Amino acid sequence: MNGTDLTAFLPIIVLGGTVIIVMLGIAFCRNHRLTALLSLLGLVLCLIAIWPASDVAPRQVTPLFAIDRYALFYMGLIFAVSIAVLMLSHGYLAARSEPPEEFYLLVLVATLGAVALVASDHFASFFLSLETLSISLLGLIAYPRDQGKPLEAGIKYLILAGISSAFLLFGMALIYARLGTLEFTRIAALLMAGGTSPDLYWLTGLALIFTGIGFKLSVVPFHMWAPDVYEGAPAPVSAFVAVVSKGAMFALLLRYFVTANADGFGPVPMMIEIVAIASILVGNLLALLQNNIKRILAYSSIAHLGYLLVAFLAGGALRIEAVTYYLVAYAVMTVGAFGIITVLSTSNAAAEIEDLDAYRGLIWQRPWLGGAFAGMLLSLAGIPLTMGFIGKFYAIAAGVSATMWPAVIALIVGSIIGLFYYLRVIVAICTPAPEGAAAYAGAVPMVGSATLAALTLMLFGLGVYPTPLVHLIQVTAAQMTVR
């Protein structure tokens, strides 16, 4: 590696240094505020490091990593989401007996795995980054060790993470056995040269890899773990899993399929379309039956991953543009929704406020929190003037361009079904609470309130005027397609 390679790799280097500094800080001085400040400062420096890295992009840093504007964009998104999660977590952790310092360290290590994942251009870096992310998530999901639900959720995630990793490794082995390489670009070159045609090895390996990724994305039929894990994990961790883990995996999936032209062979597009339709319909229909807010959001995320797969089916730059905008909108909406649960549960150390009935009258008791929550839910439903509406418009446009009419119809039907359960929560928020009941009795943490305010402004600001973000995404898509 030379100086240019190190510059391109600077965001990951800074994050790795932050992990070491925070680890040493915890070893020598346990202080919640100091650990939080060091973690946030490190992530802010990582965001700043993207600018010098972009000046030398695109750059192939060893055969393992491709640092281009696509990777840097997703790195910036992951850093921003991690900052928001840590800011929401500060007050939440302060009210609990579990030592909070390791929580920040685990978030940083998980973020390191996620940003390495989006830059991966090789199956080896793909798998190592994914395991770094997954192992850190195990600790985060089960972080309140004195409670049963987080431990149960952590064990479930451990088992299914191991199964999905086995599928991935087997699929990689089959592709290597057939093609003799693990590099995405080399795989694409061999297939496009015509000397090596896709056969049973290639298609089986691709199916196994997609199965492993399906577990990580919790798309149907690999979705059964998601509601239990979302419900059992702490609210900020549920947001992190829903956005950072799934977003990084989806970004890697998109890079792999575009670079290796993996969806141009056999029944792959049909397989993706079936999974997308099933995820949309199953996720929305099961959400109708839930009374737990976190489980509603879990099934909602399954449906939204189906919407993302519809956008994924488009070709060319539109595919990258549609998926990327939708992922940004999904990040803002999901972190915002789980952020409301987090700040509401800050003063309740015994259990989080999850039941739908506990939110009755929220808009009258806490107008700011109730209004922000309603805005996030309306955006998840795809109501105009929000980022969710633009994201769904992109998904429909992408599906139409690929002439995937069954998927487009399923997206529209799923959105109508989703509107019902989102409005159900909004009605509960606006319904006066029974006498003596209180949706939230504590003070709103200032840091958490500022984070929610920023997310709400982005939700409506980029929904009304999305042009700056769309332009940035178009530049990102153009560089990836010309690599």
- pLDDT confidence of residue 358: 85
Looking at 119-183, list the stretches that DSSP marks H as alpha helix, in order from N- to C-terminal side: 123-141, 148-179
At 244, the pLDDT band (50, 70, 90 cuts) reads: very high
- For residue 2, give every residue at least 6 positions away whose Cβ sits within 8 Å of its Cβ, in sequence order, or none: none
CA quadruple 153, 156, 162, 164: dihedral, nearest 10: -100
From 301-310, 398-407, 428-437, the region with the lowest mean pLDDT: 428-437
Cα end-to-end distance, the chain, whole Å = 20
Quick one: tokens of 264?
């141009």
Q: Identify the burial level of 214 via C-beta atoms within 10 angstroms of its C-beta, where 0-12 means exposed, 13-18 middle and 19 or more buried.
A: buried
Is the model's pLDDT at 481 over the cut of 60? Answer: no
Q: Identify the burial level of 447 via C-beta atoms within 10 angstroms of its C-beta, where 0-12 means exposed, 13-18 middle and 19 or more buried.
A: middle
Chain segment 296-333, per-residue pLDDT in tens: 999 999 999 999 999 888 766 688 888 999 999 999 99
316 CA to centre of own chain = 23
Size of the chain, expressed as the number of residues it contains: 483
- pLDDT confidence of residue 204: 85
Separation between Cα atoms, residue 303 and residue 411, nearest integer Å: 9
Chain segment 351-400, per-residue pLDDT in tens: 678 888 888 888 888 888 899 999 999 999 999 999 999 999 999 988 88
- pLDDT confidence of residue 419: 93
Query: Span 98-118, mean pLDDT?
Result: 92
Choice between 266 and 163, residue whose per-residue pLDDT is larger: 163
Asked whether 113 and 133 are in contact (CB, 8 A), the reply is yes
Nearest of 464, 311, 279 to residue 400 by alpha carbon: 311
Asked whether 268 and 204 are in contact (CB, 8 A), the reply is no
- pLDDT confidence of residue 467: 92
Q: How crowded is residue 227: how many other Cβ atoms within 10 Å of its Cβ?
A: 24
Average pLDDT, the chain: 87
Quick one: tokens of 383?
């109501």
Element (H or E) spanning 59, and its range? strand 59-61
3-state class (DSSP) for residue 364 = helix
Quick one: tokens of 101?
């310092």
- pLDDT confidence of residue 372: 93
- pLDDT confidence of residue 238: 93
Distance set, CA 296 to CA 22, 165, 306, 380 (Å): 35, 27, 16, 12
3-state class (DSSP) for residue 145 = coil
310 CB-side CA count, 13 A: 34
3-state class (DSSP) for residue 440 = coil
Peptide bond between residue 466 and the one before it cis (omega within 30 degrees of 0): no
Quick one: tokens of 435?
């006498």
Asked whether 294 and 354 are in contact (CB, 8 A), the reply is yes
Element (H or E) spanning 60, and its range? strand 59-61
Query: Span 116-143, mean pLDDT?
Result: 91
At 482, the pLDDT band (50, 70, 90 cuts) reads: very low
Separation between Cα atoms, residue 68 and residue 234, nearest integer Å: 34
174 CB-side CA count, 13 A: 18
State which amino acid sits at residue 179: L
Distance set, CA 368 to CA 59, 92, 255, 373, 411 (Å): 45, 19, 39, 9, 31
283 CA to centre of own chain = 17
Angle, helix 446-464 to helix 367-381, in steps of 10 degrees: 40
Nearest of 393, 421, 221, 205 to residue 314 by alpha carbon: 393
Asked whether 426 and 314 are in contact (CB, 8 A), the reply is no
Separation between Cα atoms, residue 256 and residue 117, nearest integer Å: 11
Query: Span 125-153, mean pLDDT?
Result: 86
Looking at 180-288, list the stretches that DSSP marks H as alpha helix, in order from N- to C-terminal side: 184-193, 200-217, 225-232, 235-240, 246-259, 268-287
- For residue 30, give every residue at least 6 positions away whose Cβ sits within 8 Å of its Cβ, in sequence order, or none: 99, 101
Choice between 371 and 145, residue whose per-residue pLDDT is larger: 371
Residue 67 per-residue DSSP state: E
Query: Span 449-473, mean pLDDT?
Result: 92
Is the model's pLDDT at 98 over the cut of 60? Answer: yes
